[in-house]
């Protein structure tokens, strides 16, 4: 999502009494209701919209994509386990029965807090309350040229691209003319030891050692080299230290080389260079090393932290703009324990629900409550029967953690149907070691 | 797939004793076995490979894609009913347990019948028997510039592109600024009244009238106009005339406008022009009006019919080249009743199996038998409980035809797992009228 901050007069719709964005069907009946505009339908924005289902407002959700994405399972699309449609739902399907909600598949081009308007390609919408939930993208710390060679994982297109890269690497290895070329195609480098990197490395290792193992004639896919490179002292730094160690042990059990305390100094088409000069030859490098918030701070002229996140008030509103909220990965929110609320799905959902309550309170003439983050713990999967779970006092590893991970993710998958189909796919994969979506697509 | 005919000396592999393409694992053990090279892993090529499972030969399957595609259900991907992975299987997965088969994901660049070699990007393969099964693409009868505005449906990328076009049209209609623009986005034109066109038109009608009906606020998707344009006198010309009429009735029952005897004279970004000058404004035009064989005739210097299909002998070999077979949609084969074997999946599968038998016969010193096409009848679906089935004496329409269509297609879907998942998806769609894969993807 791209936007620029413009100052423009209101155009068609006065700020206090904006035209209903719900269009001609709803226009006559509800034109006098307060207008809530939500930009972005990730976990934060979608939950804000759902939380306003019973409120006497008109909600307009703007997103440049037609679907809400269950990002925690995106790595399974990238590693051929699930199909895109299994972890994505049309936003308007989710909100179909919520009659006060309208969905526009458009890009927000400008926000003007002074006139309380949002401008898209086709219209200028007046708002009484604005919710900015535009998420984050991967960041290359000043090396944007690395993106071509080490793509990150945020969208379905990212995931199907990475899937094609991984599967193509095995195909190219099968027809490689030299041993050196073959090894380069059979080497996979994942940069960044957070949950995404750990999940990717584990899933590629399982793909190579299990799902593909009988399918080739020249190469032995199980000889593939999978390297996880983390610049910090340990992987999964958000977890307790013993769990980091357990995760590392489980990854190594799958045959992943885990390198910690090693920074990447260059990414090229044929490999990466590490601090110290070591070169790892690879035609398949993936990036999970960092994210940067969408540039909402620039659109809003607001103060941001180093990761680009907008610094917000206790109720998640923008300082000086009690009618404008910034939530999800775009917001910098203290967690009350000296740290910050992490950029994870449960936190985004809680912020979305909070904003819905805050708007309802304001409408009722009450002050908006302060946001309080409830930390339900952290889960990360590594592979078959391998995961770590950190619930503060309760820490799990191995099979119990993996089972819990599976149940939690199934539970939170939007839509009953997707839950059933994903469960069947997982059950099938568990029984057969196969992967259901080994497709190389694209032109 | 692109290729050019080159005459080149044999290079590494002598024609009579080619190096094993199976690579280092198999090289020592089976280097003396006859080499069969199959280009293309559609229904024809894949069934030729499978038919050679027990034969004392080495089989090399070359395809530029990694997956075999169940094309008869591709229209369901294009209309958001199924996910790509549900109708595609990795070729090497299908052949994983067939130890005499090797799969190369490469593009065949040249065939040289004189030296009996096939050249790809990475190697020159000698062959004792060559099977050319490179399929067909849609044809625009000298108007290739129409493809941009009226894409055809042959690959997964075609299907996800068309899916994005259809779903985006509804999204654009929702935010359209004028009634004229809205109507143009809500008008869908399908060119060609063969099975693909009929299936597409019916599926779009159901999508608009059922699956999307509650999801929009400004537009009413059920007002969408779906037009099926056929230049010939009736739709489904391969079916008996009463079934053509039944199909038309059923399509019209779904609200599809069926125009027969009307040629399209122009396709543009904003619509189509019909013979006589009528213009239909539409931003979503699809092409199902004709196919052209892949240019195998040019590669082989062989005689072709008007649709580019290579004219073959009774045993499907190329005249003058008993070791070179051309099968599937690339071959012109008389059906023994004065017509030709149609370009349908059952015919391609039969040709593939025939070639496997013909090669086995040759190896045993017997002459190859003549190919005999067994016509099991024709099926075409129109929508929910609507289809036509033509089995010669037995003709079905409506629910019985639809049920038979579903059972037959489930049965022939490659892979037990896909069958289960597709069945569940269909059952779910039947119960809820929903579509499981309403995704707009791509960059």
Q: Is the pLDDT of residue B202 over 80?
A: yes
**HSE-up of A107 (CA within 13 Å, CB side)?**
6
Instruction: Tell which CATH architecture fits domain B144-289.
Output: 3-Layer(bba) Sandwich (3.50)
**Domain A24-64+106-138+292-363 is of which CATH architecture?**
3-Layer(bba) Sandwich (3.50)
Pick the residue from chain A with its C-alpha nearest to B178.
A122
Q: Is A375 on the interface with B (CB under 8 A)?
A: no
Mutate to test the interface with B, among A441, A442, A443 (most CBs of B within 10 A): A441
Q: Which residues of A touch B428 (CB under 8 A)?
A: 417
Q: Which residue among B167, B175, B420 sits closest to A104, beta carbon to beta carbon?
A: B175
pLDDT tens, B53-78? Answer: 999 999 999 999 999 999 999 999 99
Band (B31; pLDDT cuts 50, 70, 90): low
Between A429 and B363, name the one with better pLDDT: B363
Return residues 38-77 of A near B (CB < 8 Å): 65-67
Model pLDDT, residue A421: 79
**Phi and psi dihedrals of B207, rounded to 5?**
-60, -50
Please provide the average confidence, as pLDDT, over all residues in chain B: 90
Q: What average pLDDT does range A32-36 have in this prediction?
A: 93
Q: What is the pLDDT of residues B260-296, one digit of tens each?
A: 999 999 999 999 999 999 999 999 999 999 889 999 9
Q: Tell me the angle at which helices A241-253 and A195-206 cross, rounded to the nearest 10 degrees.
A: 20
Residue with more model confidence, A372 or B19: A372
Residue B259 contacts A where some CB pair is shorter than 8 Å: no
B279 Cβ under 8 Å from any chain A Cβ? no
Of A34, A3, A41, the C-alpha closest to A20 is: A34
pLDDT for the residue numbered B16: 38
> A373-408: per-residue pLDDT in tens?
999 889 999 998 899 999 988 999 999 999 999 988
- The string over B334-346, giving b where at least 16 C-beta atoms fall within 10 Å of a residue's C-beta and e elsewhere, is eeeeeebbbbbbb
The alpha carbon of residue A6 and the mean position of all alpha carbons in its chain are separated, in whole angstroms, by: 28
| pLDDT of B6 higher than 60 | no
Share of chain A above pLDDT 90, in %: 78
Rounded to two decimals, the ipTM of the complex is: 0.89
Average pLDDT score over residue span A85-109? 94
pLDDT of B385 over the 80 cut: yes
CB B19 within 8 A of CB B27: yes
**Residue B52 scores a pLDDT above 60:** yes
For residue A22, what pLDDT is reported?
43
Could you give the 3-state DSSP secondary structure of residue A139? Answer: coil
Of A22, A93, A171, the CB nearest to B215: A93
Out of B66, B122, B441, whose CB is closest to A156?
B441
Interface check B216 vs A, CB under 8 A: yes
Q: Which among A58, A64, A148, A439 is the top mutation candidate for probing chain B, defined by the most B β-carbons within 10 Å of its own β-carbon?
A: A439
Write the DSSP assignment of A369-436 as a string of letters: PPP------EEEEEETTEEEEEETTEEEEHHHHHHHHHHHHHHHSSSHHHHHHHHHHHHHHHHH---S
- Cα–Cα distance between A285 and A162 in angstroms, integer? 9
Query: Which DSSP category does B4 fall into?
Result: -
- Residues of chain A in contact with residue B217, where contact means CB-CB under 8 angstroms, are 22-23, 25-26, 102-103
The answer to whether the CB of A116 falls within 8 A of the CB of A74 is no
C-beta atoms of A85 and B439 within 8 A: yes
Instruction: Give the pLDDT mean for B120-139.
Output: 95
Strands B108-112 and B117-120: antiparallel
> Are residues A66 and B171, on separate chains, in Cβ contact within 8 Å?
yes
> Which residue has tokens 């290579």?
B310
Given this model, what pLDDT does residue B436 score?
Answer: 75
Interchain proximity A122–B424, CB inside 8 Å: no
Residue A40 has pLDDT above 70, yes or no: yes
As a whole-number percent, the residues of chain B with pLDDT over 90 amount to 78
User: Contact, A324 vs A335, CB < 8 A?
Assistant: no
| Count of C-beta atoms within a 10 Å radius of residue B28 | 8
Whether A86 shows a pLDDT value over 70: the answer reads: yes
pLDDT, residue A19, reads 42
- B298-342 pLDDT, tens digit per residue, is 999 999 999 999 999 999 999 999 999 999 999 999 988 888 999
Q: Which residue has the tokens 């090289």?
A: B27
Residue A264: phi and psi, rounded to 5, are -90, 130
- For the residues B154-159, what does the mean pLDDT come to? 95
* Residue B183 burial (C-beta neighbours within 10 Å; 0-12, 13-18, 19+): middle
Query: How many beta carbons lie within 10 A of that of residue A263, not counting itself?
Result: 14
- Which of A428-437, B332-341, B365-374 bottoms out in mean pLDDT, i.e. has the lowest? A428-437
A12 touches chain B (CB under 8 A): no
Interchain pair A441, B160: CB under 8 A: yes
B195-to-A381, B153, B376 alpha-carbon distances in Å? 46, 12, 16
**Confidence tier at A435 by pLDDT (50, 70, 90):** confident
Q: Which residue did the predictor score with more confidence, B307 or A21?
A: B307
Annotated catalytic, A199? Answer: yes
DSSP B106-164: --EEEEETTTTEEEESS-EEE-SEEEE---EEE--TT-GGGTTTS---SSHHHHHHHHH
Share of chain B above pLDDT 70, in %: 93
Which residues have C-beta within 8 Å of that of residue A147, sequence separation ≥ 6? A138, A140, A287
Contacts of residue B394, Cβ cutoff 8 Å, sequence gap at least 6: B377
Q: Which of 76-105 (B) contact A at CB < 8 A?
A: 83-86, 88, 90, 92-93, 96-97, 102-105
What pLDDT was estimated at residue B412?
A: 85
Mean pLDDT, residues A92-120 taken together = 95
Catalytic: which of A106, A174, A199, A313? A199
Integer Cα distance of A250 and B323 in angstroms: 54
CA distance B176 to chain A (A): 8
Query: Between β-strands B386-391 and B394-397, what pairing exists: parallel, antiparallel or unpaired?
Result: antiparallel
- Number of helices (H), then strands (E), in chain B: 12, 25
H/E run at residue B240: none
Q: For A83, which of B85, B97, B440 is closest by C-beta distance?
A: B85
Mean pLDDT over B123-137 rounds to 97
pTM of the model: 0.90
According to CATH, where is 3.50.50.100 located in chain B? 144-289
**Residue closest to B433 by CA, chosen among B277, B261, B215:** B215
Contact B439 A122 (CB under 8 A): no
Residue with tokens 């994405």: A69
Question: Does B417 sit within 8 Å of A421, measured CB to CB?
Answer: no
pLDDT band at A31 (very low <50, low <70, confident <90, very high): low
**What residues have CB less than 8 Å from A171, skipping those under 6 apart?**
A440, B66, B105
Q: How far apart are CA A15 and CA A115, in angstroms?
A: 6
Residue B434 — pLDDT band, cuts 50, 70, 90?
confident
B215–A157 C-beta distance less than 8 A: no
Residues A297-355: tens digit of each pLDDT: 999 999 999 999 999 999 999 999 999 999 999 999 998 888 899 999 999 999 999 99
**pLDDT in the model for residue B3:** 34
Locate A5 and state its tokens. Answer: 């901050």
Q: What is the pLDDT of residue B257?
A: 98
Per-residue pLDDT, A27: 45
Q: What is the pLDDT of residue B443?
A: 62
Contact B139, B291 (CB under 8 A): yes
Token look-up 């619509």 returns B271
What are the Cα distances from residue A53, in Å, to A310, A327, A356, A360, B409? 27, 18, 9, 11, 42
| Residue ranges matching CATH 3.50.50.60 in chain A | 24-64+106-138+292-363
Best mutation target among B217, B414, B433, B436 (most A Cβ atoms within 10 Å) is: B217
Mean of per-residue pLDDT scores for chain A: 90
pLDDT band at A62 (very low <50, low <70, confident <90, very high): very high
Q: Residue B390 phi/psi, 5° resolution?
A: -125, 105
Task: Give me the catalytic one of B145, B174, B199, B434.
Answer: B199
- How far apart, in whole angstroms, are the C-alpha atoms of residue B227 and residue B197? 10
The answer to whether residue B31 neighbours chain A at the CB level (below 8 Å) is: no
């Amino acid at each position: 999502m791209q936007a620029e901050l413009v100052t423009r007069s209101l155009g068609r719709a006065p700020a206090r009494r904006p035209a209903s964005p719900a269009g001609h069907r709803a226009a006559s009946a509800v034109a006098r209701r307060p207008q809530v505009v939500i930009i972005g339908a990730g976990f934060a924005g979608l939950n804000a919209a759902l939380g306003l289902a019973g409120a006497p407002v008109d909600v307009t959700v703007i997103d440049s994509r037609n679907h809400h994405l269950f990002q925690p399972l995106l790595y399974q699309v990238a590693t051929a386990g699930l199909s895109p449609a299994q972890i994505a739902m049309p936003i308007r399907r989710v909100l179909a029965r919520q009659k006060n909600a309208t969905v526009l598949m458009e890009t927000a081009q400008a926000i003007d807090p002074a006139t309380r308007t949002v401008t898209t390609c086709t219209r200028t919408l007046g708002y009484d309350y604005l919710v900015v939930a535009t998420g984050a993208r991967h960041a290359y710390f000043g090396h944007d040229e690395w993106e071509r060679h080490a793509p990150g994982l945020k969208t379905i297109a990212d995931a199907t691209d990475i899937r094609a890269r991984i599967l193509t690497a095995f195909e190219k290895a099968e027809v490689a003319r030299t041993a050196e070329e073959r090894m380069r195609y059979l080497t996979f480098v994942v940069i960044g030891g957070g949950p995404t990197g750990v999940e990717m490395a584990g899933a590629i290792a399982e793909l190579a050692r299990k799902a593909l193992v009988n399918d080739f004639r020249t190469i032995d896919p199980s000889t593939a080299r999978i390297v996880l490179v983390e610049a910090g002292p340990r992987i999964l730094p958000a977890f307790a230290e013993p769990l980091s160690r357990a995760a590392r042990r489980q990854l190594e059990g799958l045959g992943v080389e885990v390198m910690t305390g090693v920074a990447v100094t260059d990414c090229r088409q044929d490999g990466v260079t590490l601090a110290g000069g070591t070169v790892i030859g690879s035609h398949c490098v993936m990036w999970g090393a960092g994210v940067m918030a969408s540039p909402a701070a620039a659109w809003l002229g607001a103060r941001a932290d180093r990761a680009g996140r907008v610094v917000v008030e206790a109720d998640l509103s923008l300082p000086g703009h009690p009618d404008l909220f910034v939530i999800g990965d775009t917001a910098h929110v203290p967690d009350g324990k000296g740290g910050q609320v992490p950029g994870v799905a449960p936190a985004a959902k809680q912020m979305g629900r909070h904003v819905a309550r805050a708007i309802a309170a304001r409408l009722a003439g009450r002050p908006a409550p302060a946001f309080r983050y409830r930390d339900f713990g952290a889960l990360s999967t590594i592979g078959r029967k391998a995961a770590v779970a950190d619930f503060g006092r309760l820490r799990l590893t191995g099979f119990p953690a993996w089972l819990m991970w599976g149940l939690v993710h199934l539970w939170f998958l939007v839509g009953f149907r997707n839950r059933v189909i994903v469960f069947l796919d997982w059950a099938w994969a568990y029984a057969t070691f196969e992967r259901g979506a080994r497709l190389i697509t694209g032109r």
